[in-house]
Amino acid sequence: MAGILHDVVFVDGVRTPFGKAGESGVYARTRADDLVVRCIRELLARHPQLPPERIDEVAVAATTQTGDQGLTIGRMSALLAGLPRSVPGFAIDRMCAGAMTAVTTTASGIASGFYDVAIAGGVEHMGHHPMGEGVDPNPRIVAEKLVDPSALVMGQTAENLHDRFPKVTKQRCDVYAAASQARVAAAYEAGRLQADLVPMSTRDAEGAWGLATVDEPPRPGTTVEDLAALRTPFRPSGRVTAGNSAGLNDGATACLIASAEVAAELGLPVRMRLVGYAFAGVEPEVMGIGPVPATEKVLARTGLSIEDIGLFEINEAFAVQVLAFLDHFGIADDDPRVNPDGGAIALGHPLASSGVRLMTQLARHFQDRPEVRYGLTTMCIGIGMGGSVIWENPHHADYGTDRTERAA
């Protein structure tokens, strides 16, 4: 019923294993839309109690919306996944926060009572669609000095962030990056990541079929000494390297969200509840600082403080932006609440898909950590933005009681 705010719950999330972009990558001969279709089909298979016709919307994000990522990919993915033709869909672009925005946009419809159930996700095939390919920035952006030219090159914005925050040294970034690799390796060894992954068929250059079952980008055993030797491609004697940044990757994610009432009606699991979200703009030249004002904004809107957040899933586009966030909020570089199973530096960052990966990992942590009530998913966004979403753990003893949040 419209006019009444409804609780929005995260039912489940899945993703393909992430691959390395390029001719040698595992998905070099796989279509982008097939990646996200595989995720949607897996969600439906995992939750047979959900009648497909009850899905009100399919929102799929892609940063480059052309070729196999074009033609209103949300609608095309719904059709290709076998959903009833009555189920609509649309495409979203907010660069790295595409999937995050797919979730928050459809969640707003659920909270308002206009949707009951939605599928939200994202895909990026950076091998087929290199970042920035085919774009035509308006020359006034530079000619009228609206932004510095470096704002259009993400690696240069990371170097600018180092300039802005000199305490975030290359050494700190390399230490953080090596730790991310180690955490991912430990998570795989313990079997904590595998449940999120959807095996994806692949083909090699000779046409032979294969199956991707694990992420391709991680480099277990990476040391700080290894990282210290890498070149700095964005600036001579710079600080940003391929080792302390996320790579160029291919992959897709998708999740099911629903109103709490409909989840209960259909017998769908509740893995977490949406508390609030916020997006904020920053100077495009230092886009990596975006998670700071976005997080401050959502904390203010929900009446929570940073001390209330017991788990953080921060997208590791660059180590410098993660560390700048941690410094701002007085959190240690090695705080165990932050990316407990590693992040994008090791796993990869297929741009528009990554927001749902953060959410899926947070939901898994909630299940393992019932003592934690609130968690945060946050990321920086190209062209100068940040996005943050706060979630509540349904396994916490106080879940659903004494809520102070003003947002759904």
Residues catalogued as catalytic: 96, 349, 380
CA distance 358 to 236: 33
Alpha carbon 126 to its chain centroid, in Å, reads 15
Q: What is the DSSP string of 358-401?
A: HHHHHHHHHHH-TT--EEEEEEEETTTEEEEEEEE-TTSTTTTS
Q: Which helix (H) or strand (E) holds 301?
A: helix 291-302
Count of H-run helices and E-run strands, the chain: 12, 12
Q: Which helix (H) or strand (E) holds 256?
A: strand 249-259
Q: Which structure tokens are listed for 355?
A: 């927001």
- Of the candidates 304, 324, 404, 347, the residue with the CA atom closest to the CA atom of residue 194: 347
Helices (H), 81-149: 98-112, 140-143
Tell me which residue has tokens 């080792």.
243
274, 263 Cβ separation under 8 angstroms:
no
Residue 136: partners with Cβ closer than 8 Å, 6 or more residues away: none
CA distance 171 to 176: 9
Q: CB 397: neighbour CB atoms within 10 A?
A: 9
Rg of the Cα atoms in the chain: 20
333, 172 Cβ separation under 8 angstroms:
yes
Q: Name beta bridge partners: 312.
A: 338, 376
Residue 232: partners with Cβ closer than 8 Å, 6 or more residues away: 238, 239, 240, 241
Q: What is the DSSP string of 75-93?
A: HHHHHHTT--TT--EEEE-
* Separation in Å, CA 368 to CA 47, 314, 365: 21, 19, 5
200, 130 Cβ separation under 8 angstroms:
no
